[in-house]
Structure 1
């Protein structure tokens, strides 16, 4: 059972880093450090958007409109962290 928990932590870590990469890439695109006309940048950006947009859209549906501020990535990161805390504190139940 410990292996399943470790795999779950691995999946949560991968999702965490994908969200972080998406946030950093969005900043770099907005500050025109990265250009979406470059094929590699456009492919990576499109891939990240395809993976994360279904999650973000569900979160945005219940968040209030904040203008240009998108809090969906923050909510995802906090949720991942909360899941890790719950699993860590209740690991004895799973073993």
Structure 2
């Protein structure tokens, strides 16, 4: 019962982080193409929130990727890493059930 809650919280956290990265990338594109104006206080607050949430994960990836000019592939890499972590959590849960360690 406790493990169910633990696995649920980990998977829910990873899912929320996945969506936060996706929203931050779309916001960045919309701001970059001047569809959204950061002088609007609501737009700035929302974009700042998503930047602060996702930047600690994307900064190390961005530092390791080669410079491709104006193209930032770090959200894609981090999304793939989050998906891999979600698969890993599901596999760990499956192995725990198979070996009788899941109670």
| Shorter-chain TM-score above 0.5 | yes
Matched, 1:22 2:24: yes
2:78 and 2:5 map into 1 onto residues whose CA distance is: 24
Query: Match of 2:28, SS?
Result: helix
Query: Match of 1:90, SS?
Result: helix
Cα deviation for residue 3 of structure 1 reads 1.2
Can you give the 5+ residue segments of structure 1 that lack an aligned partner in the other structure?
none
Relative to the length of structure 2, the TM-score reads 0.84
Query: Alpha carbon RMSD of aligned pairs, Å?
Result: 1.2
Q: How many residue pairs are counted as aligned between the two chains?
A: 95
Aligned to 2:51: 49
2:9 and 2:56 map into 1 onto residues whose CA distance is: 23
Query: Match of 1:79, SS?
Result: helix
Aligned to 1:33: 35
Task: Find runs of 4+ consecutive structure 1 residues off by over 4 angstroms.
Answer: none
Aligned to 2:8: 6
Can you give the 5+ residue segments of structure 2 that lack an aligned partner in the other structure?
97-101
Relative to the length of structure 1, the TM-score reads 0.90
Aligned to 2:63: 61
Select the structure of larger CA radius of gyration.
2
Query: Match of 2:72, SS?
Result: coil
